[in-house]
């Protein structure tokens, strides 16, 4: 599906035509440069590789630098492949935010905020067990039993327990495009998207 690479700017709110206050996210979407075009004959599948935001050339090795020189563009910080792009593109072409139109719906992927090691109440939404009175000690936010002893005498895979939370790829689907600002490469989407400010995100139609 076709799309763009962007950067999360932050959140704000807008009023719609009915006077409702809508929470929305502002994204710097593009401009993206086509750095590679793959086809089925040579690569086994067809896709378009886009690059976003310049980066110093001394941060790349010779192979990576040559890859960008072939595309006749400066080295890019972020590269993403898009399959089944809706229009034909050639190496060096520029894809801007006007690729999207107001009113359509998009999917946004990004890396969620890392929250470190968390317990089951915060990580999985457990309610906690037991009463708060009548001799209760310190087990209010405990997970409870994680399995029987004699049989099966093990803990099943996938048991929801405490552990690392966040810092994983998350995709939010069907976000409405509220506004497109081509002169500033800005895209305003209804609702929240994963990631911290200035984090890279991928917007797909």
Residue with tokens 């992927």: 109
Domain ranges of the chain: 3-118+169-204, 119-165
pLDDT for position 107? 93
> What percentage of the chain exceeds 70 in pLDDT?
99
Q: Please state, in angstroms and rounded to a whole number, the distance separating the CA atoms of residues 43 and 29.
A: 28
Instruction: Report the CATH fold assignment for 3-118+169-204.
Output: Elongation Factor Tu (Ef-tu); domain 3 (2.40.30)
DSSP symbol at 80: E
Are the C-beta atoms of residues 126 and 118 closer than 8 Å to each other? no
What would the pLDDT profile of 94-140 be if each residue is shown by its tens digit?
Answer: 888 888 888 899 999 999 999 999 999 999 999 877 677 787 777 88
pLDDT for position 84? 78
Taking phi over 0 as left and psi of -120 to 50 as alpha, with beta for the rest, 128 belongs to left
What predicted TM-score, i.e. pTM, was given to this entire model? Answer: 0.81
């Amino acid at each position: 599906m076709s799309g763009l690479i962007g950067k999360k700017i932050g959140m704000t709110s807008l009023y719609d035509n009915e006077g409702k206050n809508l929470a929305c996210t502002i994204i710097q979407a593009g401009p993206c440069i086509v750095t590679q075009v793959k086809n089925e004959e040579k690569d086994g599948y067809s896709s378009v590789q886009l690059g976003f935001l310049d980066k110093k050339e001394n941060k790349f090795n010779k192979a990576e630098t040559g890859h960008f020189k072939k595309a006749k563009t400066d080295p890019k910080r972020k590269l993403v492949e898009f399959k089944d792009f809706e229009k034909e593109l050639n190496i060096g072409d520029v894809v801007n935010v006007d690729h999207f139109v107001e009113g359509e719906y998009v999917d946004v992927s990004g890396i969620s905020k890392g929250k470190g090691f968390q317990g089951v109440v915060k990580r999985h939404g457990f309610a906690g067990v037991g009463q708060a009175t009548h001799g209760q000690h310190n087990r209010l936010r405990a997970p409870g039993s994680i399995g029987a002893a004699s049989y099966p005498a093990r803990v099943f895979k996938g048991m929801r327990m405490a552990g690392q939370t966040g810092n994983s790829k998350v995709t939010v689907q069907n976000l409405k495009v509220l506004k497109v600002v081509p002169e500033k490469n800005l895209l305003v989407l209804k609702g929240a998207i994963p990631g911290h400010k200035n984090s890279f995100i991928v917007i797909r139609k």
